[in-house]
Structure 1
Amino acid sequence: MSILARKVAAGLDTAMDRTVAPGFTRIGMGVRSRLPGWPADPPPGALAGRVAAVTGATSGLGLATVEELARLGATVRLVVRDVPKGERVRAEILQRVPGADLRVDRCDVADLDDVRRFVAEADGLDDLDLLVHNAGAMPATRTESAQGHELTMALHLLGPLLMTELLRPALKGSVDGARVVFVTSGGMYGQRLRADDPEYVRGEYSGTTAYARSKRAQVELMPVLAERWGTDGISVHATHPGWADTPGVVDSLPTFHRVLGPLLRDARGGADTTVWLAAVRPAPPGGLLWHDRRDRPTHLLSRTRTGDAERREMWEWARDQAGLTG
């Protein structure tokens, strides 16, 4: 492949990313997957012998992630709030992926006490190779977790931080290095980090803004988490799915879904980079934001850029609220 062809492909990819709409839709992935330099799909059996845990696994991106990981041979734990629904989803996946090794575990990721219970009681999680933080919510009104934290920040940041920290011994034992993936959102591009108001107690509450703020916090803390967990051979990544057609989008953003429905990716397309990050060997560099199998900038607007002091303040707040030490 010529250098010119690669440059043209990279330029087109970047242009779609910076203009947002083309790159985030199904068109973006359709074009990129045909460009020179598109990374190869993981080979069959790429995750044979590996154990993965996926939160929010009963619908949308989580369900698609579980199914694709199972197709690649992984043993997958479905970490869900609703166990009967989780068992139904497990049965559905087994019809499409006969012989898949799947198990359902109960955990409300927003409830820090329940996260502690889940890790303490979970059987067979002594060895873990992959942890996907996919559970998400976008409440219309300000809602608090069991510990009194604003729900989106508890569910998208505090719960995942605590769960990963408690599972570090299991992840540390991964043969070729464990991976942690935060499924974030392109919506975070419109928000700056709010270390001054992490619980969203100031101003008029907006569910979409709260969601985007919590996702911005995930992305901003990637370098900190990569350094913290990297000492145990654990690589941490964030990936955003673009605009995907999921039940969460239908329920929380009905107008957006009605207008852009034909251009939205299906759940499998939205989960593609999460699965690729889980299976590609060797592991990609940690601490980065990924979309369509390529690391992406964390800011598209100058007004959202974060300074080191603000990032440090956010990390110290999250660390303390999640009860992490060190």
Structure 2
Amino acid sequence: MNLIRKFATAAAMTALMTASALAQTVLKSSDTHPDGYPTVEGVKYFGELVKQRTNGRYSVEVYHSAQLGQEKDTIEQVRSGVIELNRVSMAPFNGTVKETIVPALPYLFRSEEHMHKVMDGAIGDQIKAAFEPAGLVVLAFYDAGARSFYNKTKPINSVADMKGLKFRVIQSDIFVDMVAALGANATPMPYGEVYSAIETGVIDGAENNFPSYDTAKHFEVAKNYSLDEHTILPEVFVMNKGAWDKLTPEDQAIFKQAATESVAKQRELWAAKVAESRKIVEAAGSQITTPEKQGFIDAMKPVYDKHVTDEVLKKMVADVQAVQ
């Protein structure tokens, strides 16, 4: 009988360990940026909090450096449930979630602080809600700083200097129209193709923030960086709605709180990275210029006229501008 009990106990322990292992759910998350980048580290921090607060029932595996594909590909993957999580720019959603058009508009936000107030408040909540019909739940908005133009041809000090230059842009109609309004030519292409496209002369340059300009090594092939700061576009951290709906209300609360705390962490890392990246590119010989912005702002009227077409978007723009 003792032998039987021992076998039974061993079997029970094995079953318990197997059940425990099966109880852990690993959530896959994608990011195009390299390991150590503030958005990657923000998602990692979110994952640490989730794992800790669910006692290991959930963990997050971050696939950085576009290991799962470029943004367009991973957006489809997370919408279809192939992956559960994705950190991506908001601009590629412009054709799917119309409310994302507003934060993508050039020169809408007066500063990063202004953007924070907008995205942390009622307007941010409105944008989050608009993602759900697309099969996505927004967990957080992350910082991506101010985007500016850079090129290998010449410094840009005015709108006139933009004429005829070819710039890579995010795959977004707003960005294409913004560049056209400035007299330049827009070429939408995946982020991972930009370096070689500049190097081989397919394009003259691109537009992005200092950390991306640095970590993607674009400063090696495009030495002229112009601080026109045309767009202060938040990044969005999303979860497949089907995966979200499988969570208990208690776990959903844990995920939401972890995401909120990861925003503060990511913003802190972002500010430090911007300062570090600017020093790196300046030391490498990049020429930083600050053009007079009013000419760039004045050129944006056709962009607003084309993309802010219905009353919902018009009200959102007015509400953003009213935030102090």
| Band of TM-score, shorter chain | under 0.3
* Higher helix content, 1 or 2: 2
Relative to the length of structure 1, the TM-score reads 0.27
Higher relative contact order (CA 8 A, sep 6+): 2
* Higher strand content, 1 or 2: 2
